Amino acid sequence: MNDSEKNIRNEFIQTLVQRFGKERTALLPVLQEIQKKFFYIDEHSQQEVARLLNIHPVEVNSVISFYAFLYDKPRGRNTVRVCKNIICNYHGSLEIAKALSTELGIGFNETTKDGKVTLEYANCFGMCDKSPSILVNDQIHERVNKESVLNLIRDLK
Amino acid sequence: MNTLNKIKRTGPVLFSEYEKGSAVKKVLEMEREDILFEIKDSGLKGRGGAGFPVSTKWMITAAANADKKFIVCNADEGEPGTFKDRVLLLEYPELVFEGMIIAGYTIGAKEGIVYLRAEYSYMLEFLENFLEEMRKQNLLGKNICGKGFDFDIFIRLGSGAYVCGEETALIESLEGHRGEPRNRPPFPVNTGYLGFPTAVNNVETLASVPNIINKGGEWYHKHGTDKSTGSKLFSVSGDCKYPGVYELPWGTTLNEIINITGAEDTKAIQVGGASGICLPATEFGRKLSYEDISTGGSIMIFNKSRNMLEVLKNFMEFFVEESCGQCTPCRIGNVKLLEGVEMIEKNEYTIEYIEKLKELGRTMQVASKCGLGQSSPNPFISILENFKDEIFNNKPVLN
């Protein structure tokens, strides 16, 4: 990471700390916002958050590693999550998973070469009455089928 | 938001006529003791699944001596097969938020926090706008309705951890830590968020409160059974014609659920989500209630074409992933149980070893630190017991 990229992150983290405060309770909201903007929380950002919140960097990394929706490795600009609960499975989520994988040319927990999409499974989204469902970034899509998910990912930037 | 949530059946309890703000206005004229007695008379118990009496939780929090207190709404609805809180938050946010204001006034809290699961972040904007509207109507903020009570509600997002639905893990998460459950005692009612007394209530529990205030505890007590008063929201999914959210009185049988939801050829019903129990047709006469089959409301229906071992494997994979790893029975136990399922799948098991795994499951039920580990062996034990013919018959057993 070059200096200008580091500066962009430093400035952003500074505004987050102004917004959420320097208490430990601010840690998750700050990490969530970094994640949203830069798609993962790089080592430099972890150090900067630790410094401003006066927490050991290992603590910051430990928190990131605990939560399924926080990442410390580079990811795609978009995340597509397929629900893997049994109810969605029985309503066709496995076929949808396969179609997505084929279309994107990647397996699950992988990112496309152009950095557009990371594909993942996730546990129950609470949409079992409208299954199968997928999450594209933070938007839920219910009762999807092979055609509709392919249209969805073609629209991603 | 592209999701429509039409509730399949709205009962007379949770969804009776409600004028926005009416219960808050009424409650601010009442003595705190009278509110607690009203809730006590209603017999309302926690709707997340544990069934702890709400009046007791609030009484202890109200009696605690502290500079600050908190009311936390547990909207970390992560139990597989549960979606009632999603529907409540999207369609009846006034009931949930007003329930929080009433709880705050009763226990002496000035701040309410909604812990919303990351998967529901698509609701955030809608809920924030709703809260803003309530502030404009002076139902939130300083001097609510001119009665001298200050209270506000803030929403905090989770980050994808099932265990954070456990109240002490939820508090850890709010404080900016890994969502690992704490030892109890001390309980959150005494030592909760930031060490202050905190009442953590489920979305549905809080949504039940405004109507109890308006119509009285006695009215509420008339619904349901003697030990399970009022109604319950059931999230019904799986092999049925009409999946969705149903408000039904406590005491409803599984057979009635089957009829109402248009399920056919039903072989098994998983009650209470992945951490619940799986019942065969011979048990469909049993009642959904705290005294019989207690549940947070997840009902997953499986018809005769489904493979119960496959269902069990799905649940055990879930627990292996979601165990926080803090205590050994849960961290190791779930892995062992999943391995057992895979051994059965490959026909590489002995009955003796499976029996030992059930024993391990019973140990996990008593030795795990929190509700996740204590309940994660439930599907393993109940599916292998109740569907042993299907799972073990016609398969060669290695000795």
Residues A149, A84 share a domain: yes
DSSP state of B224: B
Q: pLDDT tens across B136-186, in order?
A: 999 999 999 999 999 999 999 999 999 999 999 999 999 999 999 999 999
| Whether residues A49 and A115 fall in one domain | no
Residues A49 and A88 in one domain: no
Is residue A56 domain-resident? yes
Q: What is the DSSP letter of B368?
A: S
A27 interface with B at CB cutoff 8 Å: yes
Please identify, among A13, A46, A66, the residue that sits at the C-terminal boundary of a domain. Answer: A66
Out of A13, A36, A66, pick the residue that ends a domain.
A66
Is the minimum CB–CB distance between A63 and chain B shorter than 8 Å? yes
In a domain, A40, yes or no: yes
Q: What is the pTM of this model?
A: 0.96
A83 lies in the same domain as A152:
yes
* Domain total in chain A: 2
Residue A72: inside a domain, yes or no? no
Q: A86 and A47, same structural domain?
A: no
In a domain, A132, yes or no: yes
Of B86, B158, B173, the CB nearest to A126: B86
Task: pLDDT band for B7, please (50, 70, 90 cuts).
Answer: confident
CA distance B237 to chain A (A): 5
Residue range of the domain that includes A112: 78-156
Q: Has residue A73 been placed in a domain?
A: no
Which one of A66, A86, A113 terminates a domain? Answer: A66
Do A45 and A90 have their domain in common? no
For B282-301, what is each residue's pLDDT tens digit? 999 999 999 999 999 999 99
Share of chain B above pLDDT 70, in %: 97
Q: Are residues A43 and A99 in the same domain?
A: no
- Alpha-carbon distances of A49 from A42, A46, B53, rounded to whole Å: 11, 5, 41
Q: Is the ipTM of this complex over 0.95?
A: yes
Q: Do B314 and A85 touch (CB under 8 A)?
A: yes
Same domain, A87 and A142: yes
- Contacts of the segment B63-66: beta carbons below 8 A, 24+ positions apart: B64/B189, B64/B190, B64/B197, B66/B196, B66/B197
Cβ neighbours of B239 in A, within 8 Å: 90
Q: Do B237 and A27 touch (CB under 8 A)?
A: no
Q: A83 and A57 share a domain?
A: no
What integer is the mean pLDDT of B231-255?
96
The answer to whether the beta carbons of residues B279 and B382 sit under 8 Å apart is yes
Both A62 and A102 in a single domain?
A: no
CB contact under 8 A, B159 and A70: yes
Q: Do residues B47 and B25 lie in contact, with contact meaning Cβ atoms separated by under 8 Å?
A: no
* Strand pairing report for A117-122 and A110-111: antiparallel
Residue A103 lies in a domain: yes
CATH code of residue A101: 3.40.30.10
Report the SS3 class of residue B141: strand
Choose, out of A128, A130, A134, the residue to mutate when testing the contact with B (most B CBs < 10 Å). Answer: A128
Contact status of A50 with chain B (Cβ, < 8 Å): no
Name all domains of chain B by residue range, CATH numbers in brackets. Answer: 14-221 (3.40.50.11540), 231-303 (3.10.20.600), 309-392 (1.20.1440.230)
* Sheet (strand A134-136) strand order: A110-111, A117-122, A78-83, A134-136, A139-141
- For helices B378-386 and B351-367, what crossing angle results, to 10°? 140
Distance from CA of B386 to the nearest CA of A (A): 19
User: Does one domain contain both A146 and A116?
Assistant: yes
Residues A60 and A101 in one domain: no
